[in-house]
Amino acid sequence: MLPSGMDYFFLVPKIVSMTKYLDVSRDEIERDLTGQNGQVEYQWEEVVEDDVHMEHFVPLRLNISCRPHLIVGWAISLKMHNIRIDGLDWHSSFYDPNGEKRHGWHRHEFDQKQQCADGRRLPTAALDHTTTQTQFLIRTLKEMKIQLSGVDHGNYELFPYSGVSNTSSE
């Protein structure tokens, strides 16, 4: 029997470089962001093959924060074991891994030694001139190789389950 609480950090380079699939449409994310005060988290399992071709079902989470303030306050991250393993956000200034001072949007790179992507920041031009939430989602998800569902199942808010019939005249 496999042990519970498996540590999948050794798979991070593979996870970051591979295309991942989240079964949610972009429209759904945008609706969720509107309905959940600009912060959403999605959880799914990705099948990842290790070096000896053994498949692992790795639990991943995607956190998106697009609160309605300045775009530079937005952030996106891919998490595993509740730790950021990839992501993009903005700082007015930061130091890249070579110790050079940089500015603006950057990508968080996973550090195997630290077992997180919080400290290593690589400048990126992917988000330059981003002005809308849709652009932010398209560009960041492309950078992070996260594919979304092309099928939008609509707005469930129209028919919320509340224990009360939809035909209620209340």
Partner 1 sequence: METTNCSHIRESLIRRLSEDIEVSVVSGQCVFTLPIQSLDARGAEVFIEKQLGDTYRVHDAGITTSHLFAQGIHITEHKTQMFEEMARRLGATYMSGVFEAWCKESELQDAILSVGQCAAMATMEIASHKPIFEEEPVSTRVERSLNEWKPEYVKQIGKRVPVKGRKTRHSFDFVSFPKEPRYNPVALQILAPSHSSQAQAERYGFLVLDTEGLAPYDTWRRFAIITKAETWGDKSLELVRDLSEVAVPLVTGHEAEIEKVVPRVMEQLSTAA
x/- binding map, residues 99-118, to partner 1, per CB under 8 A?
----x-----------x--x
Among 14, 63, 122, 123, binds partner 1 (CB under 8 A): 63
Among 26, 56, 102, 145, binds partner 1 (CB under 8 A): 56
Q: Would you count residue 94 as binding partner 1 (CB under 8 A)? A: yes
Strands 83-95 and 75-80: antiparallel
Among 13, 49, 50, 91, binds partner 1 (CB under 8 A): 91
User: Least distance in Å: CB of 5 to partner 1?
Assistant: 4
User: Can you tell me the distance from the alpha carbon of 6 to that of 85, in angstroms, rounded to the nearest whole number?
Assistant: 16
Among 10, 13, 43, 152, binds partner 1 (CB under 8 A): 43
DSSP 33-83: HHHTTTEEEEEEEEEEE-TT--EEEEEEEEEEE--SS-GGG-EEEEEETTE
Q: Which of 53/161 has CB closer to partner 1?
A: 161
Among 40, 48, 127, 148, binds partner 1 (CB under 8 A): 40
Amino acid present at 46: E
Q: Which of 82/98 has CB closer to partner 1?
A: 82
Q: Would you count residue 19 as binding partner 1 (CB under 8 A)? A: no
User: Can you tell me the distance from the alpha carbon of 86 to that of 62, in angstroms, rounded to the nearest whole number?
Assistant: 10
User: Can you tell me the distance from the alpha carbon of 95 to that of 93, in angstroms, rounded to the nearest whole number?
Assistant: 7
The H or E element that residue 89 is part of is strand 83-95
* Maximum separation of any 2 CA atoms in the chain, in Å: 65
User: Can you tell me the distance from the alpha carbon of 88 to that of 65, in angstroms, rounded to the nearest whole number?
Assistant: 11
The H or E element that residue 104 is part of is strand 101-111
Residues found near partner 1 in the complex (CB under 8 A): 1-7, 9, 32, 37-45, 47, 56-59, 61, 63, 65, 67, 69-77, 79, 81-84, 87, 89-94, 103, 115, 118-119, 151, 153, 156, 160-161, 163
